[in-house]
Amino acid sequence: MATSSTPSFSSPAPPPSSSSSSSSSSASANNYDIPWVEKYRPTRVSDVVGNADAVSRLQVIARDGNMPNVILSGPPGTGKTTSILALAHELLGPNYREAVLELNASDDRGIDVVRNKIKMFAQKKVTLSPGRHKIVILDEADSMTSGAQQALRRTMEIYSNTTRFALACNTSSKIIEPIQSRCALVRFSRLSDQEILSRLMIVVAAEKVPYVPEGIEAIIFTADGDMRQALNNLQATFSGFRFVNQENVFKVCDQPHPLHVKNMVRNVLEGRFDDACSGLKQLYDLGYSPTDIITTLFRIIKNYDMAEYLKLEFLKETGFAHMRICDGVGSFLQLSGLLAKLALVRETAKAP
């Protein structure tokens, strides 16, 4: 099935018989305790899905053992934390527990923690194989205060013989330049639909999840390149409905149904402006946030079959409206104005 463009969103197939549902529920009853995100988290760098260039660089480090300080940068759910934890496990083996310090954004990571906790860990004596180092993992490093980052750069230099630092962040530009210059930068990007599909099918087979292809397409659409989101949506849909189809997925994820948004775009392109506005009003009255509506609209336009120059103009206007909504300007007014602007672009394009 094609997953690179907007899902087809055809009508869902009927759910399986109650006997198959009950058998699958009894089979998975024992697995409720562990979220599938954790249960199927890769333990080796080579098992990480997607970002082949970044993963191959980390595989070389795991093989040779010569780990530099690294910054792993990219969107959430693309495998940054998983990769660095798998790398630490491969490098340190049984010494992992005593030779790795992991701090997340939920932990206190102010200047005092850097001066005390991280410094104390860097000074600690741990017996490791030749060529191996202790590892400090700082997840969500872009949320560290500037003072903490300033204190960290000196620690990185003083203890460079025994300790290596791995910083995971969403935006590398929020890490101060002195730290960036001390680290190798590894960039992660959103996963492709095909990469998410391949891992979803493994989990579906292992958990015996009943599904129809449209349901898997809907999960891939809602995930938007985020593997963590895809697995959570799959588990939530299965737990709630025992069957993965398109309707159940959009109920669980509570995103505007792409079919409604697609109809809005089609009405604009066909000159039925009033119908497009009534479709927008329906979505808005259902309580969807304007950000959700405009994000879905952007992705529908991006994959819609229309003239290239028209698509570019539509995307440009959608981006401007998104920017104004993020600034806090009246949301429904901006969404209605966006539809009017799209209709104007379409009329202008038709004019000789």
Domain boundaries, the chain: 36-187, 193-253, 258-350
Instruction: Give the confidence band of 255 by pLDDT, cuts at 50, 70, 90.
Output: confident
- Give the model's pLDDT for residue 130: 85
Taken in order 91, 96, 101, 105, the sign of the CA dihedral is positive
Q: What is the DSSP string of 65-93?
A: -----EEEE--TTSSHHHHHHHHHHHHHG
CA-based nearest residue to 74, from 194, 189, 228, 212: 189
User: Given a cut of 80, is residue 48 above it in pLDDT?
Assistant: yes
CATH of domain 36-187: 3.40.50.300
Both tokens of residue 190? 């959103």
Q: For residue 14, what are the CA distances in angstroms to 26, 179, 319?
A: 21, 55, 38
Q: What is the fold of 258-350? A: Zinc Finger, Delta Prime; domain 3 (1.20.272)
Q: What confidence tens digit (pLDDT) does each residue in 93-119 have?
A: 899 999 999 988 777 778 888 888 888
Q: Tell me which CATH code domain 193-253 carries.
A: 1.10.8.60
Using one digit for the tens of pLDDT, what is the confidence trace for 2-15?
Answer: 444 444 554 444 44
pTM reported for the whole predicted model: 0.79
**Length of the chain (residues):** 352
Give me the mean pLDDT over the 140-159 stretch. Answer: 88
